[in-house]
Structure 1
């Protein structure tokens, strides 16, 4: 094994990101083909060769998981040398790797500073092995602008958006650690032995609101879905939003991803509290956008996520109102037992209450699976992700510049 801090059923100690300059050489890992083409031009590749060379790089980086330019045997030595002088194949640093008793894995990753006025930033990514599939929950922001009251990430202010390459690199790290490449497993890979498969599905349900960083999310999906690279089908990529209505159509048109709505209430007065963005885009406005979401059909149903909060949103009346609201929509309702976190104002609904709620929804003709909590013991479950990265104030940035 490596010298990673690997813990079973324990939480990593809080980390403080040191002041650091960005890497002298950027990494090619996670870049779109267009960005790889720009890198090749910078390395002196003639324009007529860029398309072919981009395809080669994409294959080695995102299909084979190459960690060294020397591994790229069908790339000339001169080009490999030119690329290595200007770029690296570095991944984000893994600060901690935790393994739950149920097989869920959580990595805390450190991303390099993006400029002289920034610090490195930390994000969390979670791998959930299941029979016949493996789901990776990725982050799109460091922190979050929203303040959903059931969500631990919502207690952390937004630090910054992630780049497309930083989003993709979360999948790269997961495949490194799982030995999930079209090549031999690297030394130290933690290959699942619990009946789960490698990464087959991606959900943008980690830290951040994806539709407030849509350009990067779109480009990241382009890389993830590339059949000659990472090869995750678009129908196996789901983007969850709390309801950023103006960007929903664009998400569907530009990514072809599956849509999930973080709903959690069937009445505006309650959703205003649980999911405050509802004050800007109410339930009626949100559902109108769902009805016109590109590609939505009975074969591609929209998932409505509903966290079960004891005595708050879990009554039979709430279930009946939820069914009434979704009438005519190609929908699946995903009931999520609340996952507690330190200082949370809520408790999880009793199991009997959840079953009654699910039965009402099911009898109305909607699939209503109750999501089995995964990774609770390592704070890797839905709504529990949070890093120690903090947004710098102006005086802190000035101090950093003076120190440099």
Structure 2
């Protein structure tokens, strides 16, 4: 089969197609060789119906990583922002330069208020070193497409990727001297959480470490003069961060490096919908903060609003947190709880939530649902959110009401992204909640 837009001799794309409507869906990986399609048996696998949700159709481009060294590449050039400092130092030394030159480069990429995007911005570096960098290194992973400003001062930045896809990054100023950048880890998302606009996109592809890191770098470069110092990073933008585990962990390591961006590990928060094996790895491999989107107090509701619960249910999710947090000193997980009118906001839900988190060192964020096109949910009324909060607080829980930020520019929690022709399906509403949803309309 001839594919339009694919040059002869290229191995340009891999496509993953999830067949739907079958009792046992099958995922095929297709590689393009010259002008033909080949199906590799080694890449055919069955997916159980309770497996992690997969996109209806997703395209991922090659990793761009040199196999022998693990160094991220763009064509014949290394991608500077895709390397941890030891990797950068080794690469610089491999070209005959001293480790001190690597440190000076690192500080100009990430520190000293320079945030360099090309070799001409590397003041103080050796001319030969700068020439070598211009020939063998790539500084840029993203290009700016647009910036939108919400009425509350929240900024939504649209970045264009090299393959033409677009991601969204949000910068949230706070009056208490804290400004947060919310970064994306994927284009779209495979989890299909029913209250999330991004989830309706399906998964297009995961971001590289460089594409993640540069969101924070460019947020500082573009907006620090307006919003002040950006102090916090949250991986709560587009995508499921732990579904892109290796690149997210690498990006987080770069963000907290003391010689560069120097974010505090406790001020870098990685959010997850509940991928249990990856949570275990994260708590063992990273010192950054963890947020878990809970959003329900029964498996029945969570199976519906967060399909990942069909594979990793509440007992498994909370069990791994209890087990792992016993080993971490002075560490609290953040539970995020999006309140959906008539679905998860009853007094009984509040009481069940208290029981669920008992014994887990935690804080709880109650989040107002942010409506979007095609949504079947409505936000809980403020007075009911306050009542819910008070029940939790009286039981000794650390609990906060988190206001919506940037919702008039579709920059609030659960509103990021742009739907294409192919969308993830809305799931069947359990009969007991159909009346509640109709009443909230």
**Superposition TM-score tier, normalisation by shorter sequence:** 0.7 to 0.9
Separation of aligned partners in 2, 1:212 and 1:41: 33
Quick check: 1:104–1:128 contact (8 Å CA) kept in 2?
yes
User: Displacement of 1:88 after TM fit?
Assistant: 3.5
Deviates more, 1:22-31 or 1:159-168: 22-31
Q: Secondary structure at the match of 2:246?
A: helix
Q: Secondary structure at the match of 2:226?
A: coil
Quick check: 1:306–1:336 contact (8 Å CA) kept in 2?
yes
Partner of 2:226: 191
Structure number having the greater strand percentage: 2
TM-score (norm 1): 0.81
Separation of aligned partners in 2, 1:337 and 1:298: 31
Separation of aligned partners in 2, 1:155 and 1:220: 26
User: Displacement of 1:292 after TM fit?
Assistant: 2.6
Partner of 1:378: 409
Deviations 1:78-101 (A, max 9, x none): 111111112232351111100111
Quick check: 1:30–1:169 contact (8 Å CA) kept in 2?
no
Q: Secondary structure at the match of 1:313?
A: coil
Q: 2:104 aligns with which of 52, 56, 60?
A: 56
TM-score (norm 2): 0.75
Separation of aligned partners in 1, 2:355 and 2:206: 36
Partner of 2:212: 167
Separation of aligned partners in 2, 1:325 and 1:102: 35
Q: 2:232 aligned with 1:201, yes or no? A: yes
User: Displacement of 1:33 after TM fit?
Assistant: 1.8
Separation of aligned partners in 1, 2:179 and 2:154: 10
Stretches of structure 1 that go unaligned for 5 or more consecutive residues are 1-21, 113-118, 180-189, 392-404
Partner of 2:126: 76
User: Displacement of 1:259 after TM fit?
Assistant: 1.0
Separation of aligned partners in 1, 2:181 and 2:326: 23
Quick check: 1:99–1:105 contact (8 Å CA) kept in 2?
yes
Quick check: 1:91–1:173 contact (8 Å CA) kept in 2?
no
Q: 2:153 aligned with 1:96, yes or no? A: no
Give runs of aligned pairs for residues 131-170 of structure 1, distance below 5 A.
131=175, 132-170=177-215
Separation of aligned partners in 1, 2:409 and 2:86: 38
Q: 1:243 aligns with which of 274, 278, 283?
A: 274
User: Displacement of 1:41 after TM fit?
Assistant: 5.2
User: Displacement of 1:252 after TM fit?
Assistant: 1.7
Separation of aligned partners in 2, 1:71 and 1:337: 43
Q: Secondary structure at the match of 1:369?
A: strand
Stretches of structure 2 that go unaligned for 5 or more consecutive residues are 1-73, 423-441
Give runs of aligned pairs for residues 205-216 of structure 1, distance below 5 A.
205-216=236-247
User: Displacement of 1:257 after TM fit?
Assistant: 1.1
Deviations 1:295-350 (A, max 9, x none): 77684211111001011110000000000111111111100000000000100011
Cα gap change, 1:87 to 1:151, in 2 (>3 Å): same
Separation of aligned partners in 1, 2:327 and 2:379: 31
Query: Comparing both chains, which one has the higher relative contact order based on Cα–Cα distances under 8 Å and sequence gaps of 6 or more?
Result: 1
